[in-house]
Amino acid sequence: MRTSAKKRLQFFTVAITVYILGFQLIPENMNLDGNVQSLIPLILAVVGYFVFLPILHWFWVIKAGKQKAWKVILILSLSSVCARYSFPENIAQYFEFIMYLRYPIIAVLLIVELYLMVMIVKGLWQARNLSGDPRIHVVEKYKDDEKKLSLALPMSWEPASWYYAIPKFSRQHTQTICRLVTRSMLVTHWLTLIGGCFFVGSLSYYLLVDWSEIAALILASISFYTVIFVTANHRVAKNYSVYLCGDKLVINNAFMSFMIINTQNITSVNQGKWYKADDKEQLMLGKGDTANIELCFSEEQTYLATMGQFPEQVSKLWLHVDQPTELVNQLTYK
């Protein structure tokens, strides 16, 4: 695992731990006129929420992953929400402003949902004649406007999931050159995830229906709806891992992450064996610890990881594919 991905995972683990400890250790009521010792849990929570986690986020997520500095606002906002519900009531009232923000937030969410529905319908309609991934069209359209791309790209996964999940929509898709060797390409993996979606959906409804039928329906619906995404993930991994779209080489690391490479920027395509243990910072796509293809670029290419939320710049790429010779031939004689 690359250092940036490892630090991201470590940060999420630490953040979850800090928030859980905050909810568990801070008393529901606290006398601010008491001794200092009784204030220690609250002081530690304040430092953890608003000092320790933002600093950790800055170094482990933003700096290590070369992300945008404004994203530190996300962890501060999350800490404010946790403070509102974990701090004693006489302290939590100072975070009451979050409750007043719920109405504009709900309004924004409704607008986003409406826009998302328009994107879904539009994407499904356009998918009739598309010869490639709808996400590619978004990248090409907004490649010169980073702000618009960062907003539009995550939304493009919605129509893309329908595009890939339903074979009829992707019937005109460009043929794959080879496949990345991943777990997602296995039918057993797909069936396991499908079963997990129905299990989680049924369980969440059963556990929440007595508390709130609306919440139970929402969570169950989300779980069942994930079947579309899971199916798209399987079909992409099985049928559309690596393919040429015009002068672009498209590489799908299952469905969550992908990259578009201009073939003119590929300086060399090498077939052989490269071991992840020899260079842990090198980006490698495909299951296992050994790559059989090395792509070198004349300029850095962008790997759009986790639905484009964690883009990474790479000057070289290792792949583990099922037909390395075919990929070399296609790129060499293009």
Any domain includes 327: yes
Any domain includes 42: yes
Any domain includes 175: no
Dist. CA 317–CA 283, nearest whole Å = 6
Given a cut of 90, whether residue 317 has pLDDT beyond it is: yes
Residues 220 and 246 in one domain: no
How long a stretch of residues is the chain?
334
Residues 250 and 288 in one domain: yes
Secondary structure letter of residue 181 according to DSSP: -
Axis-axis angle for helices 146-165, 102-126 (nearest 10): 60
Q: Rounded mean pLDDT of the chain?
A: 82
Residues 291 and 311 in one domain: yes
Element (H, E) at 21: helix 3-25
Q: At residue 126, what are phi and psi to the nearest 5 degrees?
A: -70, -25
Residues 246 and 235 in one domain: no
The answer to whether 60 and 67 have CB atoms below 8 angstroms apart is no
Model confidence pTM above 0.75: no
Any domain includes 214: yes
Which residue in the block uniquely carries the two structure tokens 């199916």? 231
Residues 124 and 91 in one domain: no
Given a cut of 70, whether residue 132 has pLDDT beyond it is: no
Residues 77 and 89 in one domain: yes
Residues 293 and 309 in one domain: yes
Any domain includes 273: yes
pLDDT confidence of residue 104: 65
Number of domains in the chain: 4
Secondary structure letter of residue 87 according to DSSP: S
Counting Cα atoms < 13 Å in the Cβ hemisphere of 173 gives 25
Residues 50 and 90 in one domain: yes
Given a cut of 90, whether residue 141 has pLDDT beyond it is: no
**Region of poorest pLDDT, from 74-88, 97-111, 249-263, 310-324:** 97-111
pLDDT confidence of residue 269: 92
Secondary structure letter of residue 62 according to DSSP: I
Residues 234 and 247 in one domain: no
Q: Is the dihedral of CA 251, 253, 259, 265 positive or negative?
A: negative
Any domain includes 112: no
Given a cut of 70, whether residue 116 has pLDDT beyond it is: no
User: Which residues constitute the domain of residue 196?
Assistant: 183-239
Residues 76 and 135 in one domain: no
